[in-house]
Structure 1
Amino acid sequence: MEQHFDDGRLAKDMDTMLQDTPHIESTCRSWTFLLLNLGRTQQSTITNPILPGFHPDPSCIHVPEWNSTFFCTASTFNWFPGLPVYASRDLQHWRLVSNALSRPEQLPYMAYNNRGQSGIYAPTLRYRDDTFTITTTLANQALPRENLTRWDNIIFNTKNPYGEWDDPIHYYGPGIDPSPFWDENGVAWVSSTFNSSGVVHAPVNLTTGEVTLPFKWLWKGTGGAAPEAAHVYKKDEWYYVLLAEGGTREKHMVTLARSRSLHGPYEGALDNPLLTAFNSTESYFQAVGHVDLFQDKLGQWWATGLAVRAGGNYADDPYHANFPMGRETFLTSVIWPEGEFPIFTNVSGTVTGNFTLPQLPDLEIIPSQGVGQLVDANDDVDFVAGTKIPSHFLHWRIPHTKNYDVSPSGRENSLALHSSMLNLTGFDGDSSLGRGQTYISRRQAHTRFRFSVDIDWSALSRDSEETGISIMQDQSQHFDIGIVMKSTLVPRNLTSGTLYPLSENEFGPIEGSARFVPERPAAPYIRFGGISTTAYRRAESMKWVEDLTELPGAWKGQKLRFEIEAVNTTHYRFSAAPAGREDVDGEARVFGWTRGDLLVPVYSGATVGAYATSNGRYGERAFAAYISGWRYKGLEQVREEPRA
C-alpha cells in the first residue's frame, strides 16, 4: 500500500523537532535502547542486591584469563579485614575469595582512626598485565578539611586474587576514590575527586607510587553536591568520565561526560543524571549511585553500584530512615550504543530484560578457590581445633589478635575472647586511641535473620566485667544483650568487714582513693542496653537505654545462649536462655527490643557479633569469655516495599 506525505506538514513538524533537540535526542536514544534490547533474544532476571549486607562503593571487573570470572570489591571503612574480594561466574553467586587488607601490619595506624566515617574509602579494582590492582584511600575524617594528609591514597597489587595481597604502596594524591585508566602508551592515569569540587588526574606508577606529573582538573561535574567516585572509560574513540553526584543519600545520581581527548575538555550528557532513584517514591531501592561499568565475554555492558533498601519515603528523612544493612551492591544491565552515552536499566530487587546472564553453574564450578564462603551463606561455626577465624568475620578497627584464641587447651571447640578495657562505645562513641575493643562479628546479610552464640561466662567475677552479643553499626550505634557483674560501691568509712580495693585503671588512680567494693561479691545480671546517636542526628534524637535483670537462679553456673533476631523489616528482638538443653527455645526470655531506624548507617552497615569488656576497669585481658555454637541463619530477603 502506498503511503502519502504532506510535505508542508512534514516541514513544519521538522521545524518543531529541531527546536526541541534535547527532547529528540532523548527520544532517539530511547528507541535505540528498545531496538537493541529486541535484538537480545534471551529473557533473564538479575536478583538484587548481589552483595547483601553492607558493601558500599563497589567496583567490579570481568577477567577472561581467569576462567571468565567476575571479581568485585567494596569499601569497608573502619572494619577489618578490609576490601573483600568476591568472585562469580554467573553474576549471581558470589564467593569471598580474599581480603586485600588482611594483615594488621599492612595499615597498623588504622587502629587509631577516629569517627565512623573514617577508614577504607571507595576502591577501584582493575586487571592489567597479569596483575590485579586495587586503588583506594585510607581517610582520617578527624583531620581538618584543609589538611591533605587526611587522605592516604594507597595501591594493593596481587598476581593471585585467591591468595594474599601485597603490602600497600602509598602515593601522594589529593582527594579520594582513586581510579586508574591506562592510555595508549600504557601509562596509568589515576583520577580522584578533590574536596567535593570535581575530578583531577595524574600519571601514577602503580608499582612504585611515583606521581610523574602534577594533578590537573578533568571535569567538575554537573553542579551536583559532592562529586566523587570518578571512573574513566574509552569507547568508540570517545573518553567518558563517570561520576557520582548529589551525596550518597537521597539525591545520589550517576552523571557522565565525554571528550575526544583523555585530558578534556569534557561535555556532560544532555540527559544527566543517567541513573538515579531520587523522586522515585515507588522504588524500594533508594540512594542509587556510585557506579562502575564492565563488560562480559559476550560484549554486554553491566553496571554495579550502591543502593539502600529504605523504601519510597526515604527522601522524607534519610537520617532517620530504616535501612540498618546500609549501602549494598546492586547489578543492572546497560545498553551502550555506538558513539552514544550508556543507557542504564533502573535498579530494583529483580531486574528483568532481554540480556544474557552467564549460564547458572553447577555448585562444583562456582569459584571454589580462596578463603571464604558465599556472601549470603549461613554460619554454623564451632571453632574446632586447628581451624582459623572465618575470613568473613569482622573486627572494629585493627584487632589485638592475642585477644582471640581458637579452641584453647581445656576449652576445645570454643573461641576465647580476652576482654578489652574499652566497651563498644569506648571513651566518646568515636575513638579508641589504638586500644581496640574485643568484638568479633559478621555482616547482617538478610532482612530477617536469627543470630545466636553460647557463652561460658564462668570467669567473670568482678564488678563491671561483661560479655554478650551485639548488633553494631559503630561505637555510637549499637544494642547489646549480655551478662554483667554488678555490685554497689560505697565509701570505705561507711562499711565494715573485709573490704577489697578497686584496681587502678591504666589512666591512673580512680577518683576518690577511699572507694572500695564491699565484702559481698558482685552478682550477675542480664543486661540489655544500647546507644543511638550520630553526627547526622539532631541532639533530641539521641537514644540511650540500659535495663538490668538479675540472673534467674536456675540459670546460674550454666552457659548462656544469647540471641538477636530481626523479626521483620523494622524490629530486632533480644533474648537469652540456658545453653545446651533440649528445650532451650522454650526457656528463652525476651529482654529487649530495638528498631532498625535506631541503627542508621553513617557509611557502613550493621554487624552482629560477640564482645567481652571490663567497662573501663582492670586493664586489658582482665578475664576470658568462651563462645561456642556460633549460628547465623538468614530467614528472609525483602526486595520490595513491604505492604502495610
Structure 2
Amino acid sequence: MRPDPSIVHVGKYYYMVNSTFEYYPGITLARSIDLLNWETLPSVATKHSQADLTKSKSNEGIFAVCIRYHNDKFYVITTNFAEFKTFIITGSLTADGNISWDERININVNGIDPDIFFEGDHTYVQYTGYLESGKKALQQVEIELDTGRILDGPKVLTAGTGGRDVEGPHIIKKSDYYYLLAAEGGTGLGHMITIFRSKSIWGPFESCPTNPIFTNRDRADEPLQNIGHGDLFQDENKNWWLVCLGTRPININFKTFTNTGRETLLYPVDWNGDWPVVNKGVPTETVDMSEFPEHAKTLQPQNLNDFTDSFKNGILNPEWVSLRNSLNDRLTIERDNLTLTSSDSTLSDIDTPSFLGLRQTEPDETFEIELNVDNCQLTDGQIGVAVTIDSTHFASLTIKKNENDHFDLVKTVHVFDLVVEEKIAEINKLPKKFSIINHPSNKEFLVQTIDNKNLGFKVAAMHFSNEAISALNTGDILGIYALGTDSKLSVNKARRFPINKEE
C-alpha cells in the first residue's frame, strides 16, 4: 500500500513520498540509491500543525503527495482532505543524513492533488480544481513561496482528454516545452496516464496524439490493473523513468479483488522523441531491462527482506502506523519489548484506537507477534491482533479474562452493518503467539497456546478488499490491538513475511 508515488533525485539518493490518508504519521518517506531497494524514513507530517488527521474519516486525510528539491531544500506539497487544506512542508538535510521538516505553508486553492514547479524566481502550483459546474479541471496558480500567497491565477490548464476525474498533475520542462502529466479515468479500472505540452507554462496545452500514454484499461488479462497517477523523473545518468500506482488484483471463483491496495510501480521511459514512451506503452508486471541497457545501469538486484522488529533501539520503526494520531501516550518501547496500553476506542470509531499496524504487502503473507506474557495485563479489556481496511470493515482475534480466571478467545468480524462477536474457545494461560495468515481467498486468525495448539478462525479476504468498500485509496493494515480498560499487550517480536519464506 504505497499509492500516489512521487520521486526526486538529490545527491546519491532518490527520495519518494506516498499518500497515507487517515493513517498516522502522514506522508510516507523513503529513500534509495538504486530505485529498487528502499529504506523507509521517518514520515513528513508528525504534528497537528502540519496535518491534523484526528477527524479524518476512512479514505480521507492525506491525499496525493508531490516532492521536489529547490535551492537546497525539499518541498512536499499535498492536501489534507480532513481539513480540506492544501499546503507545502519544507525540509532540510541534517548532518546525520535525515531531513528536518518545518511547519506548513497553506495555499488557498479549491482542489486536491497539488504539484509544485520552480522556474527562476517563480513558483507555480498545479492542482485538480473544482469548477462551479462541479466538474474537475487541472488548474494553476503562481504563489509567493515563503507565504503561500497567490500572485496569479487560478487558471484552467486542461480538462483532460475526456476521461472522468482528471487529477494528479505534474509539470516537467524539457526541450523548451512544459509537459503536463495527468491521471484520468478515476482510480479504478479506467485509470490512465495522459500528457499534454505547451510552449508557455500557462498554456494552451496540446494533447499527445497517442493519449493515453500508459494504461491497462482495455487489457483485462494483465496482472496489473488500475494503472495511473504517475510522476516523471531522471536518474543520475539522465535516463527518464515513470513512477506510478497500480494494483495486483486476485481472482477467486470468478471474483476479482485487492487486499494490498494501490502500490508503487516503476517503468523505464524512452523520451528521444517529442513525447515520452513508457515501457513501449504497456504496463507489464515485469520489464525486460535488456531492452533498456542505459536504464539498467542504475538498478541493483532487488532484496525484499522480511520485516522483523525486536524493538532493540527504543524507537518505533517508521513502518508502523496508527489511526489518525500518535500512540505515544499508550506506547512503551524498552529493550526487546513493546507494550501497548488499551483504550475504549474501537476500529469502528473515527478516533485513535490502540491499534498499531503494518501494511499488507503480499496476498500470501503472515503477520505474527510473540507475546511477553509477564508484561501483559488483562483486567476489563481485550488484547490481540486485527486487520482493517476502513472503519466498517475489520476483524480481530482477542483474548479477555473470564470469571474463572481463564481466558476467552473472542472472534470479531465487522463487515459494513453485519457484526459478529463470539467466544470461540477458552484457554488456561496467556498464549505464546498471535498470527494473521493472509491467503488470497481468506485470512486466518490464530493463537498458539503454551502447549503449541493453534486456535482461531478464518474469514473471507474479500470482506477486507478495495472492492468491498468501493474505494481504492488504501489496502489492508495488520496489527496489534488493545481494547477496553486498564489492559496491556506486550510484544517481544513482530514479523511480516511471505508464506513461502516461513521458517
**Partner in structure 2 of residue 558 of structure 1:** 430
**Alpha-carbon separation, structure 1, partners of 2:252 and 2:316:** 40
Is contact 2:322–2:355 with CA below 8 Å preserved after alignment? yes
2:79 is aligned with 1:129: no
CA-CA distance at 1:251 after TM superposition: 0.3
Q: For residue 168 of structure 1, give the secondary structure of its aligned residue in structure 2.
A: strand
CA-CA distance at 1:606 after TM superposition: 1.2
Q: Deviations over 1:229-277 (max 9, x none)?
A: 0111121222211110110001001111112211111121222111111
**Partner in structure 1 of residue 182 of structure 2:** 243
Residues 417-496 of structure 1 aligned to structure 2 (within 5 Å): 417-426=340-349, 431-432=350-351, 436-455=352-371, 456=373, 459-462=377-380, 465-485=381-401
**Alpha-carbon separation, structure 1, partners of 2:430 and 2:196:** 64
**Alpha-carbon separation, structure 2, partners of 1:447 and 1:110:** 29
Q: For residue 422 of structure 1, give the secondary structure of its aligned residue in structure 2.
A: coil
Q: For residue 351 of structure 1, give the secondary structure of its aligned residue in structure 2.
A: coil
**Partner in structure 2 of residue 99 of structure 1:** 43
Cα distance change of structure 1 residues 415 and 125 upon mapping to structure 2, 3 Å threshold: same
2:85 is aligned with 1:152: yes
Which of the residues 417, 421, 432 maps onto 1:546?
421
Residues 198-237 of structure 1 aligned to structure 2 (within 5 Å): 198-237=137-176
User: What TM-score does the superposition give when structure 1 sets the normalisation length?
Assistant: 0.71
Q: Please identify which structure carries the higher strand content.
A: 2
2:480 is aligned with 1:610: yes
CA-CA distance at 1:458 after TM superposition: 5.3
Cα distance change of structure 1 residues 279 and 562 upon mapping to structure 2, 3 Å threshold: same
Q: Which moved more, 1:220-229 or 1:198-207?
A: 198-207
Q: For residue 386 of structure 2, give the secondary structure of its aligned residue in structure 1.
A: strand
Q: For residue 188 of structure 1, give the secondary structure of its aligned residue in structure 2.
A: strand
**Alpha-carbon separation, structure 1, partners of 2:346 and 2:388:** 12
Q: Which moved more, 1:76-85 or 1:443-452?
A: 443-452
Q: What letter is aligned with 1:250? A: L
**Partner in structure 2 of residue 74 of structure 1:** 18
Q: For residue 462 of structure 2, give the secondary structure of its aligned residue in structure 1.
A: helix
CA-CA distance at 1:344 after TM superposition: 1.5
Q: What letter is aligned with 2:264? A: T
**Alpha-carbon separation, structure 2, partners of 1:549 and 1:258:** 61
Residues 251-266 of structure 1 aligned to structure 2 (within 5 Å): 251-266=190-205
Which of the residues 332, 356, 378 maps onto 1:405?
332
Cα distance change of structure 1 residues 423 and 523 upon mapping to structure 2, 3 Å threshold: farther
Higher relative contact order (CA 8 A, sep 6+): 1
Residues 633-644 of structure 1 aligned to structure 2 (within 5 Å): 633-635=497-499
Q: Deviations over 1:543-562 (max 9, x none)?
A: 5333312313xxx2334411
**Partner in structure 2 of residue 588 of structure 1:** 454
Unpaired segments ≥5 residues, structure 1: 1-53, 141-149, 364-373, 487-519, 534-541, 638-644
**Alpha-carbon separation, structure 2, partners of 1:313 and 1:607:** 21
Unpaired segments ≥5 residues, structure 2: none
2:488 is aligned with 1:624: yes
**Alpha-carbon separation, structure 2, partners of 1:349 and 1:328:** 12
2:320 is aligned with 1:393: yes
**Alpha-carbon separation, structure 1, partners of 2:173 and 2:481:** 49
CA-CA distance at 1:193 after TM superposition: 0.4
Is contact 2:92–2:100 with CA below 8 Å preserved after alignment? no
**Alpha-carbon separation, structure 1, partners of 2:218 and 2:301:** 40
**Alpha-carbon separation, structure 2, partners of 1:357 and 1:303:** 14
CA-CA distance at 1:459 after TM superposition: 2.6
CA-CA distance at 1:173 after TM superposition: 1.4
Is contact 2:376–2:487 with CA below 8 Å preserved after alignment? no
**Partner in structure 2 of residue 278 of structure 1:** 217
Q: Which moved more, 1:591-600 or 1:118-127?
A: 591-600
Aligned length: 482
Q: For residue 452 of structure 1, give the secondary structure of its aligned residue in structure 2.
A: strand
Identity across aligned pairs (percent)? 24
Is contact 1:530–1:544 with CA below 8 Å preserved after alignment? yes
CA-CA distance at 1:524 after TM superposition: 2.8
**Partner in structure 2 of residue 573 of structure 1:** 444
CA-CA distance at 1:343 after TM superposition: 1.2
**Partner in structure 2 of residue 536 of structure 1:** none
Instruction: Kindly report structure 1 stretches of 4+ aligned residues shifted beyond 4 Å.
Output: 311-314, 359-363, 520-523
**Partner in structure 2 of residue 290 of structure 1:** 229
Q: For residue 136 of structure 2, give the secondary structure of its aligned residue in structure 1.
A: coil
**Partner in structure 1 of residue 115 of structure 2:** 179
Is contact 1:77–1:604 with CA below 8 Å preserved after alignment? yes
CA-CA distance at 1:224 after TM superposition: 1.0
**Partner in structure 2 of residue 61 of structure 1:** 8
**Partner in structure 1 of residue 287 of structure 2:** 351
**Partner in structure 2 of residue 598 of structure 1:** 463
CA-CA distance at 1:530 after TM superposition: 1.6
CA-CA distance at 1:119 after TM superposition: 0.4
**Partner in structure 1 of residue 275 of structure 2:** 341
**Bigger-Rg structure (1/2):** 1
**Alpha-carbon separation, structure 2, partners of 1:105 and 1:482:** 35
Q: What letter is aligned with 1:243? A: A
CA-CA distance at 1:399 after TM superposition: 2.3
Is contact 1:240–1:256 with CA below 8 Å preserved after alignment? yes
Q: For residue 284 of structure 1, give the secondary structure of its aligned residue in structure 2.
A: coil
Q: Please identify which structure carries the higher helix content.
A: 1
Q: What letter is aligned with 2:483? A: T
**Alpha-carbon separation, structure 2, partners of 1:154 and 1:483:** 43
Is contact 1:446–1:635 with CA below 8 Å preserved after alignment? no
Q: Deviations over 1:5-52 (max 9, x none)?
A: xxxxxxxxxxxxxxxxxxxxxxxxxxxxxxxxxxxxxxxxxxxxxxxx
**Alpha-carbon separation, structure 2, partners of 1:313 and 1:289:** 25
CA-CA distance at 1:296 after TM superposition: 1.5
**Partner in structure 2 of residue 378 of structure 1:** 306
Q: What letter is aligned with 1:170? A: N
2:196 is aligned with 1:269: no
**Alpha-carbon separation, structure 2, partners of 1:522 and 1:557:** 9
Q: What letter is aligned with 2:344? A: M
**Alpha-carbon separation, structure 2, partners of 1:575 and 1:312:** 25
**Alpha-carbon separation, structure 2, partners of 1:270 and 1:313:** 38
CA-CA distance at 1:523 after TM superposition: 5.8
Q: For residue 136 of structure 1, give the secondary structure of its aligned residue in structure 2.
A: strand
Is contact 1:85–1:97 with CA below 8 Å preserved after alignment? yes
Is contact 2:407–2:429 with CA below 8 Å preserved after alignment? no
CA-CA distance at 1:485 after TM superposition: 4.3
Is contact 1:573–1:592 with CA below 8 Å preserved after alignment? yes
**Alpha-carbon separation, structure 1, partners of 2:376 and 2:443:** 28
Is contact 2:234–2:240 with CA below 8 Å preserved after alignment? yes
Cα distance change of structure 1 residues 311 and 524 upon mapping to structure 2, 3 Å threshold: closer
Q: For residue 598 of structure 1, give the secondary structure of its aligned residue in structure 2.
A: helix
Q: For residue 155 of structure 1, give the secondary structure of its aligned residue in structure 2.
A: strand
Q: What letter is aligned with 2:4? A: D
Which of the residues 222, 245, 262 maps onto 1:327?
262
Is contact 1:280–1:312 with CA below 8 Å preserved after alignment? no
Residues 159-174 of structure 1 aligned to structure 2 (within 5 Å): 159-160=92-93, 162-174=98-110
